[in-house]
Amino acid sequence: MNETLQNKIIIRAINLTKDYQTESQTVRAVNNVNLEVKSGEFITFVGRSGSGKTTLLNLISGLDYPTEGQILFDGDNLDKLNQKEIISIRRKKIGIIFQSFSLLPLLSAYENVELPLRISGIKSTTRKKMTNKAIETVGLSHRSRHRPYELSGGEQQRIAIARAIVNEPNLILADEPTGELDSVNAEKIFSSFKKMVKDKGITILATTHDRTLLNLSDRVIEISDGKLV
């Protein structure tokens, strides 16, 4: 990865705040966060449940909108874009690993991983090569024809990871990505993540309590009550 790309700011959060209204009170999930992330950084966010980690990732991805402040992604102010434009950015530039996996139950593991490429209009031969490579990265080539309900929780999580990395996005957002993985698979997969950061300049933001992931990270940032500590 060249030095110019490495020093490029890919994410900038400016006075970022997110409030949720309940029947009795306003809950501030993210509280005046300012953050700069360089292209090719591997950052993990740590904090107790309810500290705002997942909400912050959702704001960065454009899945949620801030109450106040701005998110700039690769120079674009997400607040100024319409929903179609944000979806296009997510489709081409962002891979997301959800806690709940979000695999489609009627599709095989292979088809779940292939789907983002199919939606993006990638040609069949290229699509096949990229899909097989991603599934091989997570060590599940032998399970690629199985549907999600035929896979263990750890295998489903690995397929969700393969789907997030299949199109080699600029940014990967991973919410507790090692929750269902044993230590051997966690270390193997995130060593592959580290290699992608180094070789391709992919930026990774993850929430985790996993010591393996913390040790691989360039920066570990604690979140408490919606604030960066």
> Model confidence over 46-102: pLDDT tens digits?
988 889 999 999 999 999 999 999 999 988 899 889 989 998 898 889 998 887 788
> Model confidence over 143-201: pLDDT tens digits?
999 999 999 888 998 899 899 989 989 999 988 887 777 777 777 777 777 777 777 78
Cβ neighbours around 184 below 10 Å, total? 10
Tell me the C-alpha to C-alpha distance, in Å, between residue 69 and each of 25, 36, 56, 94. Answer: 21, 14, 12, 21
The domain that holds 65 is classified in CATH as 3.40.50.300
For the whole model, what pTM was predicted? 0.86
CA proximity to 106, closest of 115, 116, 97 = 115
> Model confidence over 185-218: pLDDT tens digits?
777 777 777 777 777 788 999 998 777 778 888 9
Does residue 116 sit within a domain? Answer: no
- Residue 188, Cα to own-chain centre: how many angstroms? 18
Range of the domain at 42: 3-101+170-228
> How many structural domains does the chain have?
1
Q: Say yes or no to pLDDT of 3 above 50.
A: no
By the 8 A CB rule, do 64 and 13 touch? no
Does residue 133 sit within a domain? Answer: no
Does residue 22 sit within a domain? Answer: yes
Does residue 120 sit within a domain? Answer: no
Does residue 12 sit within a domain? Answer: yes
Does residue 174 sit within a domain? Answer: yes
Which pLDDT does position 205 carry in this prediction?
Answer: 94
Does residue 86 sit within a domain? Answer: yes
Which pLDDT does position 6 carry in this prediction?
Answer: 59
